[in-house]
């Protein structure tokens, strides 16, 4: 039983087994099915559910621990394949046994209020992420040589990251100072007439599934930059998709992070309303806009996290596990930056002098 | 006395000096210039000097207020900019206008002489006279403009290249999540507040004397420069 003082709990883990040979099985993004590495069989979600639901029910009968809703510390769980006792931290919802590599899905992290509503399964594989990293040098002359060597990759993990998706309706008005300009000429005199208007535009605009990263462990700006995900491929959540990947549960209160979504919606609404007015110059002077949340969903979205070590500094890159958008901040090579500055300056000086000489020769 | 002064001028400065008065119809100042240039060439002035150097004062008494102007040929062109021409012509204006022609001409010779003896003005330091007698400018590299343009261009290009390395940005908008069919603009008010009209007049090129010096060719080929011409 759980020892509440030390805040440890032995966790019941879910796993997915190959219906054919009972080996540990993972979701294959390229095929879109579960593929067994041992016997080569492929299975759809329905086939997996038939087999694995029974298995977990069995396990439930064997072990009687009932997990609690929230834990403060670490969870220890027993690997179903090799029996090793593994410690995982509080946020981890799915992980791998370091000894035998078996996926373990920690059910308590994904049930009750932590049960995700929807998921977008991985479409890109680890090799896609590695290749995208290797391709970073394209069009980036200021990247240090050897930075995108795959040996610099310290860790590369496919993680289902928790997101809150907000449906928001913005309604209200914006008021602008706007101007139109007319110009005309009579003889040698040039006239400019400036007309000033007070312009109001108002209405309502609906935004669908604005994503906000629900985990403090993943930087918001990185998660912003891999947007957007294609929501057409979003499906109801099922544990089975986590096989072969890591997963985290959310630790940000959705009410606390809601303003991130609402501010984005308000900013976009201002632009849309402003664009509706046709004037030469427009400046918003006041607005009465209100953002109202109409729906919220908890989603697991696929991201390949790539940790790179270069010259003893860590750099984080991320790839959208569905679209393949690969992003991160690349350090600047100081030497190359200086070299390019000098070369570009010298070439433009030469061109300027050449053009001025040609003009001079033309004049003479 | 005038002749003596002019002979001294020629000997000391190694260029000719000519004073011509005539009366002929002219429609434009250019006609006077043509006359002066032809007169200088056809009478072989400047022959014994390098590049046919010399100066000529022309007075055309056709009008009630006679036209007069000064022309320089060959190397003499290097000694006069608009400033010097203006100074000489203004300086002799009163004498010529009041009929003191001798004083005016003497003044012309001495003023011209002093400008030549003080050497080419600093504004002319990049000019030279070619073998055909034309006033030409040496090519000077425009350092300031080139450095300015190159610096701006380099800055722009480097900013573009640096930004290629920095991909991560915080999202401030939600344009990808707008439900396009849901945009309902129900309130549109455009209230006219006022208007303001401003104007400016562009000045077309005004006539009158002194529109800068320039190098032209005479009918026999030599180059020359001229002042702005005066009436009086």
Of A197, A328, A344, Cβ closest to residue B191: A197
pLDDT over 70 percentage in chain B: 91
- Report whether pLDDT(A60) > 50: no
Could B184 and A203 be called an inter-chain contact, meaning their C-beta atoms sit closer than 8 Å? yes
Q: A65 near A82, Cβ under 8 Å?
A: no
Percentage of residues in chain A having pLDDT higher than 70: 90
pLDDT in the model for residue B28: 86
Is the distance from CB of B111 to CB of B104 less than 8 angstroms?
Answer: no
Q: Does A199 touch chain B (CB under 8 A)?
A: yes
Q: In the prediction, which pLDDT does A215 show?
A: 92
Give domain limits for chain A.
Answer: 8-115, 133-332, 333-364
What is the 3-state secondary structure of A20-49?
A: CCCCECEEECCCCEEECCCCCCEECHHHHH
pLDDT tens digit sequence for A9-26: 455 566 678 888 888 888
B217 touches chain A (CB under 8 A): no
Task: Compare CB distances from A199 to B186, B189, B196 and report the shortest one's residue.
Answer: B189
Per the model's pLDDT, the better-predicted residue between B191 and A86 turns out to be: B191
Interchain pair B167, A225: CB under 8 A? yes
- The pLDDT, as a whole number, for residue A3 is 42
pLDDT score, position A10? 53
Task: Please give the distance of CA B208 from its chain centroid, rounded to a whole number.
Answer: 14
Q: Which long-range contacts link A16-24 to residues 24+ away (Cβ below 8 Å)?
A: A16/A48, A16/A52, A16/A103, A16/A105, A16/A239, A16/A240, A16/A243, A17/A51, A17/A52, A17/A55, A18/A43, A19/A43, A19/A47, A19/A48, A19/A50, A19/A51, A19/A52, A24/A81, A24/A101, A24/A102, A24/A103, A24/A243
Pick the residue of B145, B147, B156, B177 with the most A CBs within 10 A to test the interface with A by mutation: B177
* Phi, psi for B203 (deg, rounded to 5): -80, 125
pLDDT digits (tens, 9 = 90+) for A62-117: 333 334 434 456 777 777 777 777 778 878 888 887 777 777 777 777 777 788 99
Chain segment B69-97, per-residue pLDDT in tens = 999 999 999 999 988 999 999 999 998 88
Highest mean pLDDT, choosing among A28-42, A97-111, A192-206:
A192-206
Tokens 């000064």, residue?
A: B70
Q: For residue A158, give the nearest of A326, A318, A323, A329 by alpha carbon.
A: A318
Region A211-234 average pLDDT: 94
Map out the domains of chain B with their CATH numbers.
Answer: 2-138+215-231 (3.10.310.50)
Average pLDDT over residues A212-232: 94
Asked if B203 has any chain A CB less than 8 Å from its own CB, the reply is yes
Picking from B146, B165, B201, the nearest residue to A143 by CB comes out as B165
Assembly ipTM: 0.80
Interface test mutation site (partner A, options B127, B143, B156, B168, max chain A beta carbons within 10 A) = B168
The predicted structure's pLDDT at residue B207: 38
Average pLDDT over residues A36-54: 81
How confident is the model at residue A119, as a pLDDT? 95
φ/ψ (deg, to 5) at A290: -130, 135
- Whether A184 has a pLDDT exceeding 70, the answer reads yes
3-state SS assignment for residue A72:
coil
The pLDDT of residue B215 is 54
**Those residues with Cβ within 8 angstroms of residue B218's Cβ, 6 or more apart along the chain or in another chain:** B34, B37, B38, B40, B41, B73, B224
Using the beta-carbon criterion (under 8 Å), do B187 and A201 form an inter-chain contact?
yes
Left, alpha or beta for B113 (phi > 0: left; psi -120 to 50: alpha)?
alpha
């Amino acid at each position: 039983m759980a020892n509440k003082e030390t805040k440890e709990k032995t966790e019941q883990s879910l796993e997915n087994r190959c219906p054919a040979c009972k080996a540990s099985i993972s979701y294959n993004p390229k095929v879109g099915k579960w593929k067994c590495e041992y016997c080569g069989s492929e299975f759809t979600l329905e086939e997996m559910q038939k087999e694995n639901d029974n298995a977990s029910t069995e396990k439930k009968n064997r072990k009687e621990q009932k997990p609690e809703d929230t834990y403060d510390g670490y969870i220890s769980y027993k690997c179903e394949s090799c029996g090793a006792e593994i410690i995982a931290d509080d946020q981890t919802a799915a992980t791998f046994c370091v000894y035998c590599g078996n996926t373990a899905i920690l059910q308590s992290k994904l049930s009750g209020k932590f049960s995700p509503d929807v998921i977008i399964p991985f479409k890109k594989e680890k090799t896609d992420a590695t290749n995208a990293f290797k391709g970073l040098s394209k069009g980036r002359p200021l990247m240090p040589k050897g930075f995108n060597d795959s040996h610099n990759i310290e860790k590369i993990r496919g993680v289902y990251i928790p997101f809150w998706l907000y449906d928001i309706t913005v309604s209200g008005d914006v008021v602008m100072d706007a101007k139109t300009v007319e110009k005309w000429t009579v003889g040698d005199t040039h006239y400019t007439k400036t007309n000033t208007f007070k312009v109001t535009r108002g209405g309502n605009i609906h935004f669908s599934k604005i994503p906000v990263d629900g985990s403090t462990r993943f930087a918001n700006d990185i998660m912003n930059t891999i947007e957007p995900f294609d929501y057409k491929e979003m499906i109801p959540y099922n544990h089975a998709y986590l096989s072969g990947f890591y997963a985290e549960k959310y630790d940000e209160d959705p009410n606390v992070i809601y303003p991130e979504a609402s501010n984005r919606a308000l900013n976009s609404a201002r632009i849309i309303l402003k664009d509706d007015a046709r004037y030469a110059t427009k400046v918003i002077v006041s607005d009465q806009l209100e953002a109202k949340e109409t729906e919220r969903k908890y989603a697991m979205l696929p991201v390949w996290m790539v940790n790179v070590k270069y010259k003893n500094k860590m750099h984080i890159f991320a790839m959208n596990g569905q679209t393949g958008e690969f992003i991160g901040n690349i350090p600047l090579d100081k030497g190359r930056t200086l070299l390019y500055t000098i070369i570009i300056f010298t070439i433009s000086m030469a061109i300027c002098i050449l053009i001025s000489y040609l003009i001079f020769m033309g004049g003479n | 006395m005038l002749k003596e002064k002019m002979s001294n001028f020629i000997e000391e400065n190694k260029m000719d000096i000519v004073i011509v008065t005539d009366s002929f119809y002219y429609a434009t100042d250019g006609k006077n210039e043509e006359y002066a240039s032809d007169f200088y060439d056809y009478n072989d002035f400047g022959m014994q000097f390098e590049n046919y150097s010399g100066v000529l004062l022309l007075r055309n008494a056709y009008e009630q207020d006679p036209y007069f102007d000064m022309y320089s040929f060959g190397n003499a062109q290097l000694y006069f900019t608009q400033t010097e021409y203006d100074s000489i012509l203004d300086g002799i204006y009163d004498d010529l206008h009041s009929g003191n022609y001798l004083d005016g001409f003497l003044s012309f010779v001495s003023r011209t002489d002093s400008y030549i003896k003080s050497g080419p003005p600093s504004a002319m330091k990049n000019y030279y006279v070619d073998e055909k007698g034309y006033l030409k400018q040496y090519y000077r590299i425009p350092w300031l403009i080139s450095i300015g343009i190159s610096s701006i261009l380099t800055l722009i290009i480097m900013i573009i290249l640096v930004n290629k390395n920095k991909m991560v940005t915080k999202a401030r908008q939600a344009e990808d999540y707008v439900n396009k069919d849901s945009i309902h603009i129900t309130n549109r008010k455009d209230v006219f507040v006022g208007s303001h009209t401003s104007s400016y007049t562009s000045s077309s090129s005004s006539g009158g004397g002194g529109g800068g010096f320039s190098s032209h060719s005479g009918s026999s080929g030599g180059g020359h420069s001229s002042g702005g011409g005066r009436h009086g």
